[in-house]
Amino acid sequence: MEYKKSTIENLREALDNNEVTGEELFNEAKKLAEESQKDINAFVTILDKYKSRPKKKGILTDIPYSLKDNFSTTGILTTASSNILKNYVPVYDATVYKKLKDAGAVLVGKTVLDELAMGGTGTTGHTGVVLNPWDKTRLIGGSSAGSCASVAAGIVPFSIGSDTGDSVRKPASYGGVVGFKPTYGRISRYGLFAFASSLDHVALLTRSVKDAAIVTNVLKGEDPLDMTSLKDDGLDYTLNLDKSIKGKKFFYIKEACTFDKKSDILESTLNEFNKLLDKIRSLGATVDEVSIDKDLLNAIYPSYMVISCAEATSNNSNLTGIPFGNRIDGSTYEEIMFNTRTEGFSELIKRRFVIGSYVLQKENQDKLFLNACRVRRMIVDKMHELFKTYDALIMPASGGIAPKLGEASDVLSDEYLILENHMAIGNFGGFPSITLPYGFVNSMPIGVNITSNILKDSELLNIAKQIEDLLGYIGQVAGDKNV
Amino acid sequence: MYKVVIGLEVHCEVLTNTKNFSSAKNTYTNIPNINVMPVDLGLPGILPVVNEEACRKALKTAMALNCETPDEIIFDRKNYYYPDLPKGYQITQVTKPFGRNGHVTFLVNGKEKTVDIHQLHLEEDTASLEHYSNYSLIDYNRSGIPLMEIVTEPCIYSADEAVAFLETLRNIFLYLGVSEAKSDKGQMRCDVNISLMKDTDKVLGTKVEMKNINAFNSVKEAINYEIKRQSEILDKGEKVIQETRRIDEDGKTYSMREKVDAVDYKYFVEPNLAPVKITKEYKDTVRKEIPELEYSRIKRYLELNINLEDALTLAKDKDISNYFDEVIKNTKDINLAVNYLTIVILGSLNKLNININDLFITPTMLANVINLVKENEVSNQLAKNIIYEAMEKNIDPLEIIKSKNIKQISDEGELRNIVKKIIDESPEQVKEYLNGKEMVANFLVGKVMSATNKQANPAASLKLIKEELERMR
Amino acid sequence: MIDKKMLENYAEKLMFRMKDDELDTLESEFDTILKQMKLIENIKGIEKVDPMTFPFITYEAKLRSDLESSDSLSVDEVVSNTKHVVKDQIKVPKVVE
């Protein structure tokens, strides 16, 4: 058994056959994590000791994993990759962390994110840039940067991240791994540091669709501590994976995939995508091109910015350095708040907060914040309409491969592309959405994204598994060249 | 003279076991930071979960104030920075408050007054700050305790009206059991908005806001002080400044801050609280829990020809009023019932320092005694003594009457013999009576009463005494 | 129109300071986002749409039963993330209104 390439399934088998112990797995993971730090810098904290105290032994018992550093973990430093929380040690457990503890999964480390999860590059964490294990001159993307890198590098077979716009599904594409965001409310958000509450999802990164099903099985269910959590659907997601997708109907959005001018990379990516669609058709499924009002599609990104910044400004108003956080002294409470927040947040965060607060101002709220919320409903209504006909939306997760360090920034510009931002649709409507590797461009992995109607998590995983079987990237880690 | 226009914003802590959005205990304690969940401290990652009972009580109060009620439960965030607000926002209601457009009617110095209610909403209290010479300490026990806020329209025109409204409101809270509403514990506190205008003015004058007044008496003082202060300013032809003032212990108000520009709280719907439907069935159930309220009872009592003062006394407390209603179900003599309740029963409650529900004498027991008095079976005086004895010994008053073989002597023949005997024994008094001092007859009644161990019917005795004395002229 | 002075003021209301060059970047970002949002006003029928807050609503959410409870963090936990503790409470400079 080669640990780095092993899926949860493989590790479970090895553990059950006593080929390896949980402690040995942890030590291996810890060693890999420590060795990887200087190259990819995925971790804020790497844990010292193997610890597994399952309430009941189960499929995840003794399986190592990493957790994005914006989940509350009692007694373990949790920074959200921000200076303002650089010393914060939580006193309560996030529901997902508690469930994983109870399942006996072994936490290896807390992973780097874009500061407060607000960003898509993996470059803005207070402990530095996270790099792509496939090519250390490239980014892994964010905000779940360290989570994705730790799975892509084979340090852990799964990681828990969060996805507000595409924060798990975009890095998954750049890292050649599976990124899955179930239906909003399927997994409790209690203990996930809020970025934009109405868009935030707990999401996961794995190296196979089946592993995504296994982990989701453990995490899902209603939580009395999260009023937006859903009643458990009672399904075992691993049992529905092998059904044929013959007769399933897919669509992709024409306007997102049509360009006047194409870079080489975009061209190759779209070629790979078309090849994939043909393969899917060969399974007996149909794929249609669907046209959606371009003005509406163009509105996705600004609307996402407006809504997420607005909610983020409010959600992060608790960071004042008073009951917790890195207090910078002052002679009045206002000065304390000022100094703490001025020093604690990076520039990008401050810009986002000002935008968020501006759009909520009384005189701007209708034209900005509420209009963005209107766009949200229009997009979501359109999707619900399409899901009456179609089983899933299938799209390239990105128009290209992981950008080089220095190529991408989080400064807002006019030059956004629908193709780079369409995955926010999944957050707008809470739709289950998964990214999985479907090929390579310039020796870098690319990902395809599939999105289904709400509550259809099991059906989506089935579709994803069938496509994964078609492509054969199960257990892929950085370094595997499969061009 | 100016026309005074007052609007009130009343905050009231809701009586629940736990806080509005966390399972920490809702209680008052001097030990700091012992009822604090992560939600109440605003820690990263927390999510609020709405307390059912707090909603039920807010809805019930809204209904009691004749408000329109919403079809679903939704909350909003009010964003601002202050050291007692750990999340940096307060969860409150703007989009769909529990009540809108209500009204409440009550009496002010015997005259009917209706105050329109703009809105009633549910929100959460802040942490408490304790101030020392050069620092302040934050205690999070109060953080997240459910608060109802009731906002009136600017339709209150005097300090008396304001205080009567607050008393009515507190009475409604107590009747509904939604709050203990103790102002000394800060469970009920109010902000007063007051402006003065000339009778001929079309628009309201400049508004002055006075925040966080606990005692109703202070509300009165503050309003009267402001009327005087603002009148003097206007008399001089000057302008009242729009500002926030506080009331000091001396009953005067002092400027806290001028209103530079209105704070924008950037309200938006709280995304973490999934909407919950309020069904018609639910509303019906809650509505059924609302008892008849004070003002309706006062009106009912007045219709029974009870005088205003007694009607107010009886209706003030739900348990006393309920007790009284039980008594008059079992006796026809309303006057006696009022008399026994306001004097004998309420007097004893004060003395014994107990609640009427803990009283041994049930309404039926009291009604039975009243009926005996009414039928001249027992004298009034004796009946009262029996009730006191019954309370002391926890024995049914009827049992006492039976065991002591007490029966009022109303039989004319029997009574006349006693009267004759007393007259024979009192030659001095007879002489005085015949000389025109008719009051002496009452003295003789007293003698008859003592001679009969208070069993004689006093009215019948007086009649007979007069008859006998007149016959002696 | 947005100018730097306004942005500085907004930042102040959010309890932080921004440097001059940071305000420059922000100003150009505002330019971009406001232009984009302006386009949104032209989307057909937008004025009739009810703004969306929740991704979807199932009306399955339940209110919390108000059961008797002694749930609480310990006092030590409450004050564990600050050095400024006096008498089990969190200390700040004197708050004057």
Candidate list A36, A66, A82, A167, residue with the active-site label: A167
The answer, yes or no, to whether residue A474 has pLDDT greater than 80, is: yes
Residues B160, B130, single domain; the answer is: yes
CB-CB under 8 Å, A225 with B47: yes
Average pLDDT over residues A469-475: 93
**A143 has catalytic annotation:** yes
Q: CA angle, C67 as apex, C65 and C69 as ends, to 5°? A: 135
Task: Determine the Cα–Cα distance for residues A346 and A358; give it in Å rounded to an integer.
Answer: 19
Average pLDDT over residues A294-308: 95
DSSP β-bridge partners for residue B76 = B92, B269
The answer, yes or no, to whether residue A1 has pLDDT greater than 80, is: no
Question: Please, what's the b/e burial string for B264-275 (b: 16 or more CB within 10 A of its CB; e: otherwise)?
Answer: bbbbbbbbbbbb
Number of domains in chain B: 3
The answer, yes or no, to whether residue A408 has pLDDT greater than 70, is: no
Q: Which of C52, C63, C72 to mutate to test the interface with A (most CBs of A within 10 A)?
A: C52
Host H or E run for residue A445: strand A444-451
Q: What is the pLDDT of residue A483?
A: 37
Range of the domain at B396: 292-403
Which chains, if any, share at least 3 CB pairs under 8 A with chain C? A, B
Average pLDDT over residues A20-32: 98
Which chains, if any, share at least 3 CB pairs under 8 A with chain B? A, C
pTM of the model: 0.92
Residues B53, B145, single domain; the answer is: yes
Question: What SS3 state is found at B472?
Answer: coil
Tell me if B299 is assigned to some domain: yes
Residues of chain C with pLDDT under 70: 97
Contacts of C69 in chain B (CB under 8 A): 17-18, 23-25
Query: Within chain C, where are the H helices?
Result: 4-13, 20-40, 75-78
Average pLDDT over residues A382-405: 96
Tell me if C11 is assigned to some domain: yes
Q: What is the pLDDT of residue B469?
A: 86
Q: What is the pLDDT of residue A180?
A: 98
Residues B198, B96, single domain; the answer is: yes
Range of the domain at C38: 4-48
Tell me if C85 is assigned to some domain: no
Residue numbers of A between 67 and 126 with CB closer than 8 Å to C: 87-89, 91-92
How far is the alpha carbon of A312 from chain C, nearest alpha carbon, in Å?
12
CB-CB under 8 Å, B17 with C71: no
Task: Determine the Cα–Cα distance for residues B82 and B89; give it in Å rounded to an integer.
Answer: 9
Q: CA angle, B245 as apex, B243 and B246 as ends, to 5°? A: 165
Tell me if C16 is assigned to some domain: yes
How far is the alpha carbon of C33 from chain B, nearest alpha carbon, in Å?
19
Place of tokens 């009917």: B112
DSSP β-bridge partners for residue A162 = A202
Single-letter code of the amino acid located at C36: Q
In contact, A290 and A253? CB cutoff 8 Å:
yes
Residues B390, B446, single domain; the answer is: no
CB-CB under 8 Å, B86 with A78: no
Host H or E run for residue B123: strand B111-124
Residues B417, B368, single domain; the answer is: no
The answer, yes or no, to whether residue A278 has pLDDT greater than 90, is: yes
Q: Measured between CB atoms, does B73 come within 8 Å of chain C?
A: yes
Q: Measured between CB atoms, does A260 come within 8 Å of chain C?
A: no
Tell me if C59 is assigned to some domain: no
The answer, yes or no, to whether residue A444 has pLDDT greater than 80, is: yes
Please state whether beta strands B276-277 and B72-73 pair in parallel, antiparallel, or not at all (unpaired): antiparallel
Q: Annotate B352-402 with DSSP letters as a single string.
A: HT--GGG-SS-HHHHHHHHHHHHTTSS-HHHHHHHHHHHHHHT--HHHHHH
> What is the ipTM, given to two decimal places?
0.97
Tell me if B287 is assigned to some domain: no
The answer, yes or no, to whether residue A480 has pLDDT greater than 70, is: no
DSSP β-bridge partners for residue B198 = none
Any idea which of A16-25, A162-171, B279-288, B435-444 has the lowest mean pLDDT?
Answer: B435-444
Q: What is the pLDDT of residue A40?
A: 97
Contacts of B264 in chain A (CB under 8 A): 361-362
Q: What is the pLDDT of residue A409?
A: 63
Tell me if C34 is assigned to some domain: yes
Tell me if C19 is assigned to some domain: yes
Task: Determine the Cα–Cα distance for residues B130 and B139; give it in Å rounded to an integer.
Answer: 8
Residues B271, B309, single domain; the answer is: no
Tell me if C14 is assigned to some domain: yes
Average pLDDT over residues A430-444: 97
| Domains of chain A, start order | 3-247+393-471 (3.90.1300.10)
How far is the alpha carbon of B265 from chain A, nearest alpha carbon, in Å?
8
Average pLDDT over residues A307-327: 98
Q: What is the pLDDT of residue A397?
A: 96
Residues of chain B with pLDDT under 70: 259-261, 405-410
Contacts of B274 in chain C (CB under 8 A): 54, 57-58, 60-61
The beta-carbon neighbor of B87 closest among A192, A228, A318 is A318
CB-CB under 8 Å, A323 with C90: yes
Given B282, B311, B340, the domain boundary residue is B282
Q: What is the pLDDT of residue C94?
A: 96
Residues B128, B246, single domain; the answer is: yes
The answer, yes or no, to whether residue A478 has pLDDT greater than 50, is: yes
Tell me if C78 is assigned to some domain: no
**A409 has catalytic annotation:** no
How far is the alpha carbon of A332 from chain B, nearest alpha carbon, in Å?
9
Q: Measured between CB atoms, does C1 come within 8 Å of chain A?
A: no
Number of domains in chain C: 1
